[in-house]
Structure 1
Amino acid sequence: MSAARRATLAPAVAAVAIAALTACGSGDSTVAKTPAPPPAAQPNSTPAPSTVVVPTTTPSGPADPCAVNLAAPAIAQAVSELPRDPRSKQPWSTEPIAGNYNECAPLSAVIVEANTNAENPSTRALLFHLGRYIPTGVPDTFGFSGLDTSQSTGDTVALEHDTGIEGLSSVVKFRWNGSGVELIGNAPAG
C-alpha cells in the first residue's frame, strides 16, 4: 500500500476505532461492538473530503523579474565597477542597505556603504534604468542613507539623506526623463 493511501486511510481508521470504543457499553451486542470496515477500505469508494491530503506548499515558479530584488547580480556587478570610497579608500559592500532595484522600472536605486568597520561608513546610491547601472550622467549620489518608498514611483526614486542632526534630514528625488536622470526635488523629510 502506498504512503499516500496510508495517509488517506489513517484518519478514517482512527475515527472508526474511536467511535467503536466510545460506543460500546456492557449491554451492547457483539454486532454493535464490531466496527464496520472503514469507508475508504471498501471497493470503489471515494474518501471523504476531510481525509484528502492537500500539500501545504506550492511549487515555486521563476522569480518575478519585476519585483524588488536587492540580491540581483546586476547590483554586485555595478558595485564591483565603482572606484573605492574616497574617504576610507575601501571598496563598497555588495549588499545594499536599502533600495528598490527592479529590472522593469525606468528608474530604481540601491544604497551601499563602504566596506569598512568605521562607525559611520560612507554611503552612496547607485541608480539603474531597466535593471542596468547608470554609471555616468547622474547627479552626486553620496551620503544617502535610505529610500522613501512613499515618494518613489516607477520612474522616480526619493533618496533620504540623514545628517544625524534632528530636523536636518531631507529627501532628494531623481527622475528618469526618457533619456537620462534629472534631479527634480529636494524637500525636508516628512
Structure 2
Amino acid sequence: MFVSAFVSALSLFAVASAQSSASTTSAAASASASVVAIAAAGSSGYSYMGCYNETTEIAGTSGARALSGGKMETGNDTTVAACLQYCGESNYQYAGLEYSKECWCANYLSALSAQLPESNCSLACVGNDTELCGGYLTINLYNLTSKKSSSSGSSSKGAAASVAASSWTNVLGAGVMALTLGAAL
C-alpha cells in the first residue's frame, strides 16, 4: 500500500512538474514577444515624410529647432494621431514627434534638418507603444498635404523677416529657399 501511494505521489509530482514547466515556457515566450513600434502613415491631412534630425546641437544655430516658430505640446498620452490633430487645428505645414512625448508644429523645416535612416527614430509614443515618436534629437516628421480651409495663416514675408541674420530657412511649403543677410524682406 505504501509503495502504491508513493508511486501515485511521484506520478502526480511528474505531471505537476511538466505542467509547471510548460506554463513557464509559455510565459517566457510571451515575455520575449515584445511590441514592435512602427511609423504611422499619417492622418488629419498629414503624410509621413521620414525620420529627421533635430538641429538644436548643430554649431552656429544658437539652439534653433528643426521645427521652430510654431507651437509645441508634451504629455504622457502623446500619440501620432493626437499630434497631427493638434498641429492640423492651426494648419501648420509640419508636425513632428520627438523623444516619445513631444509634439512640434511649424510652417517651416530648417534646411539643416536632414532625413536620417528610420532606425534613428526608435522611441515608441508614450500614449501608444505601437507607434514611433522620434528619438533623442530625432523627429518623425509629417507634412500637411491637404489643408483645412481657415482664415488664419502666416505670411511667408513675415516668417522670413523673423529669421536670424545669415541663416538659411528652407521654406518647403512655398518651394523657395531664402537667405537673409540682416535685411528684412
**TM-score, normalised by the number of residues in structure 1:** 0.25
Q: Which has the higher contact order (CA 8 A, sep 6+)?
A: 2
Larger Rg: 1
**TM-score, normalised by the number of residues in structure 2:** 0.25
Give the number of the structure whose residues are more often helix, by fraction. 2
